[in-house]
């Protein structure tokens, strides 16, 4: 851009820290990418998208290397009207908070210490009741002793006070995993992601979250991170199918041998130098143990975290981390941690706990940028609206609120739309996805396709997934068990018959099932079939927020 060329100004920055971005602006893609580094998308209708600048979004930006000046420059450069001084002051204040409290190794006590160069600040936080319980003796005016086991909980407490601590206490090295090497070449962005997480092996690195689209090779990034750390590794995944997929990738893309890889699930309990465990088996609760009992007494399989001298824990789909695993993670902060996800959205709003216990977001690759480079498939997203019959409409009207979602989501009107979509995509590789099992069973029977649900035995699941990969079958009906970490690279059409309320997280995962690049370079098609004028239509609006955040347009049609 020449010095005399006018700058497009598509932003309206408001004093409440909301930011409006005009979609029609020629600079939309550029500005959306810049905003995404320090603000969160809230709403995304057709013409104006609304972002919000939050303390957590600014702290993540600070860890990623942005300064308050960088954020202020973006806002003022593209703002249509002058940015309120209060907004710039808040950006400066919040970004300046990260790192003023530091957790360090204290060589005088061979433990940890909370320290700050500001005596008044450390005095302030030490007087908070929750923080005070977690601090030991005062070592001097600027340092408090901290018990090793309280490292994670203290970071959570400080974050809730608005003072995110920089954890520089380093890690136990764990047992060495000698000679492990990658046998696959990393793409440039994958290498960048590993480097951002590892941070040259310094005390400030070795923890955090890498956010990349499904199909962009998050598993390979996890393998490369493990090879970089070169230590015994625990990998925690969403399902046994996912565990088997990780094993295949470990054997295919690293120098590890089969006898070095263990599986800790409902089927097997093998602990090896690299062990893959499922969230489900870790959070299994012992019967008869009170809910307020010690976490390891109630969930005995969590002892796996202490069963080996781990040097790294990899959390696949970290946005799904269940509460017991969070609490166990709070106690093992001396182990390096890596979180992998397509989206950091948590429907319970606990992104702050991910920041405190796993680490900050270290790398984020926008979906559309990777699409432009050919690393994920281009996709079209369409909402197909169907109408309830008069009889169904009356049933919906008189139903209790909690029943209305099921009535709308499972209306037989959707089957007619499904028939039309399947006719349009004859010969394609189609996944039909849903929430309600009775609906999926009707669909499978109607079209004569195999079905995979939580009731499907593991061997049968693995066989059906392999038959779909090989092309032996071209249509598969799947429940939410296929939302996560299932590699079906040639799937190019997904038809969503029903979903989990307004979950943006689920929308990301389901779109991700068809995002892997296609051998023919073709486009993926993502359909959501929605009952019009029902609560399902309201939920669909929220789910679309994720797609809009990633730069996808969303077409709405009444007929196929």
pLDDT band for position 559 (cuts 50, 70, 90): low
* Structural contact between residues 31 and 21, judged by C-beta atoms closer than 8 angstroms: yes
SS3 content of the chain, % helix, strand, coil (to 5): 40, 20, 40
Contacts 24+ apart (CB under 8 A), 458-466: 458/240, 458/241, 458/267, 461/241, 462/241, 462/244, 465/241
Helix (H, G, I), strand (E, B) or coil at 339: strand
Both tokens of residue 536? 């399902």
Q: What is the pLDDT of residue 480?
A: 79
User: Do strands 111-115 and 143-146 pair parallel, antiparallel, or not at all (unpaired)?
Assistant: antiparallel
Q: What is the mean pLDDT of residues 327-335?
A: 90
pLDDT band for position 141 (cuts 50, 70, 90): confident
Q: What is the dihedral of CA 480, 50, 93, 101, to 10 degrees?
A: 0
Give how far the C-alpha of residue 559 lies from the chain's centroid of Cα atoms, to the nearest Å.
33
Using alpha carbons, list the distances in angstroms from residue 225 to 169, 201, 219, 231, 442: 20, 11, 10, 10, 44
* Structural contact between residues 19 and 40, judged by C-beta atoms closer than 8 angstroms: no
User: Do strands 361-364 and 209-211 pair parallel, antiparallel, or not at all (unpaired)?
Assistant: parallel
Flag the least confident range among 327-341, 413-427, 440-454, 544-558.
544-558
Q: pLDDT digits over 64-122, tens only? A: 889 999 999 999 999 999 999 999 999 999 999 999 999 998 876 668 999 999 999 99
The total number of residues shown for the chain amounts to 560
Tokens 């995962």 -> residue: 509
Residue 221 is given by DSSP the state H
**DSSP output for 436-470:** -HHHHHHHHHHHT--EE-TTS-HHHHHHHHHHHHH
User: Residue 183: CB partners within 8 Å, gap ≥ 6?
Assistant: 252, 253, 254, 255
User: Residue 67: CB partners within 8 Å, gap ≥ 6?
Assistant: 95
Q: Distance (Å, rounded) from C-alpha 466 to C-alpha 472?
A: 9
pLDDT band for position 486 (cuts 50, 70, 90): low
**DSSP output for 164-181:** PPEE-------SB-TT--
Q: Distance (Å, rounded) from C-alpha 443 to C-alpha 434?
A: 10
* Structural contact between residues 261 and 234, judged by C-beta atoms closer than 8 angstroms: no
Domain boundaries, the chain: 11-97, 102-167, 188-365, 371-557
CB atoms < 10 A from the CB of 147, how many?
A: 13
Q: pLDDT digits over 193-203, tens only? A: 999 999 877 77
Q: Of 31, 13, 134, which is closest to residue 83 (Cα–Cα)?
A: 13
Q: Distance (Å, rounded) from C-alpha 536 to C-alpha 49?
A: 22
Strand order across the 475-478 sheet: 451-452, 475-478, 430-433, 493-496, 524-531, 379-386, 554-557
* Structural contact between residues 197 and 338, judged by C-beta atoms closer than 8 angstroms: yes
Q: Does residue 503 surpass a pLDDT of 80?
A: no
Q: What's the CA angle centered on 132, arms 129 and 136, to 5 degrees?
A: 165
pLDDT band for position 485 (cuts 50, 70, 90): low
Ramachandran region, residue 533 (left: φ > 0; alpha: ψ -120 to 50; beta: rest): left
Which fold, 188-365?
A: Rossmann fold (3.40.50)
Q: How many helices (H) and strands (E) would you count in the chain?
A: 22, 23
* Structural contact between residues 51 and 42, judged by C-beta atoms closer than 8 angstroms: yes
b/e code 166-191 from CB counts within 10 Å (16+ = b):
bbebbbeebeebeebebeeebbebbe
Backbone angles phi, psi at 36, to 5 degrees: -60, -15
Q: Distance (Å, rounded) from C-alpha 203 to C-alpha 181?
A: 23
Say whether 371-557 and 188-365 share the same fold: yes
Q: Does residue 1 surpass a pLDDT of 60?
A: no
Mean model confidence pLDDT for the chain: 87
Residues above pLDDT 90, as percent of the chain: 51
Which fold, 371-557?
A: Rossmann fold (3.40.50)
Predicted structure pTM score? 0.80
Highest average pLDDT, of 105-109, 349-353, 443-447, 535-539, comes from 443-447
Q: Distance (Å, rounded) from C-alpha 448 to C-alpha 435?
A: 19
Q: What is the pLDDT of residue 371?
A: 78
Q: Distance (Å, rounded) from C-alpha 51 to C-alpha 41?
A: 4
């Amino acid at each position: 851009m020449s010095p005399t060329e006018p700058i497009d100004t598509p932003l309206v920055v408001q004093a409440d820290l909301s930011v409006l971005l005009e979609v029609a602006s020629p600079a939309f893609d550029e500005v959306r990418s810049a905003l995404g580094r320090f603000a969160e998308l809230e709403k995304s209708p057709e013409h104006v998208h609304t972002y919000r600048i939050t303390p957590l979004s600014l702290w993540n930006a600070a860890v990623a290397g942005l300064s308050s000046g960088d954020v202020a420059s973006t806002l003022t450069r593209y703002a249509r009207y002058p940015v309120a001084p209060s907004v710039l002051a808040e950006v400066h204040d919040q970004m300046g908070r990260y790192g003023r409290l530091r957790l360090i190794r204290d060589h005088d006590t061979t433990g940890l210490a909370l320290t700050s160069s500001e005596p008044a600040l450390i005095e302030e936080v030490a007087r908070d009741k929750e923080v005070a319980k977690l601090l030991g003796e005062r070592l001097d005016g600027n340092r408090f002793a901290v018990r090793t086991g309280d490292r994670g909980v203290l970071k959570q407490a400080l974050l809730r006070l608005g003072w995110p601590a920089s954890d520089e206490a380093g890690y136990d090295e764990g047992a060495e995993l000698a000679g492990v090497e990658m046998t696959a070449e990393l793409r440039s962005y994958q290498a960048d992601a590993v480097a951002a997480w590892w941070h040259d092996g310094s005390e400030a690195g070795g923890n955090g979250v890498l956010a990349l689209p499904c199909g962009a090779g998050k598993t390979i990034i996890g393998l490369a991170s493990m090879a970089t750390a070169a230590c015994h590794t625990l990998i925690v995944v969403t399902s046994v199918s996912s565990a088997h997929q990780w094993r295949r990738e470990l054997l295919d893309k690293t120098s590890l041998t089969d006898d070095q890889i263990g599986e800790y699930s409902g089927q097997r309990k093998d602990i090896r130098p690299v062990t893959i465990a499922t969230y489900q088996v870790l959070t299994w609760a012992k019967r008869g143990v009170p809910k307020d009992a010690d976490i390891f007494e109630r969930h005995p399989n969590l002892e796996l975290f202490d069963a080996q001298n781990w040097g790294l824990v990899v959390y696949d789909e970290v946005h799904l981390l269940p509460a017991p695993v969070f609490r166990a993670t709070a106690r093992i902060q001396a182990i390096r941690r890596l979180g992998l996800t397509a989206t950091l959205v948590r429907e319970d709003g606990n992104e702050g706990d991910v920041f405190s216990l796993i680490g900050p977001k270290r790398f984020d690759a926008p979906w559309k940028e990777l699409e432009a480079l050919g690393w994920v498939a281009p996709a079209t997203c369409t909402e197909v609206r169907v109408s309830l019959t008069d009889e169904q409409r009356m049933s919906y009207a008189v139903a209790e609120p909690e029943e209305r979602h099921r009535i709308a989501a499972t209306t037989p009107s959707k089957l007619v739309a499904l028939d039309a979509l399947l006719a349009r995509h004859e010969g394609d590789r189609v996944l039909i996805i849903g929430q309600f099992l009775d609906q999926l069973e009707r669909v499978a029977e109607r079209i004569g396709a195999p079905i995979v649900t939580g009731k499907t035995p593991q061997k049968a699941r693995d066989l059906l997934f392999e038959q779909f990969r090989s092309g032996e079958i071209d249509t598969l009906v799947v429940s939410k068990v296929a939302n996560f970490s299932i590699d079906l690279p040639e799937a190019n059409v997904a038809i969503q018959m029903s979903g989990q309320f307004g979950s943006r997280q689920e929308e990301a995962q389901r779109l991700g099932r068809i995002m892997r690049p296609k051998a023919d370079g073709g486009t993926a098609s993502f359909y959501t079939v929605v009952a019009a004028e029902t609560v399902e239509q309201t939920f669909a609006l929220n789910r679309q927020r994720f797609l809009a955040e990633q730069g996808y347009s969303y077409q709405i049609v009444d007929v196929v």
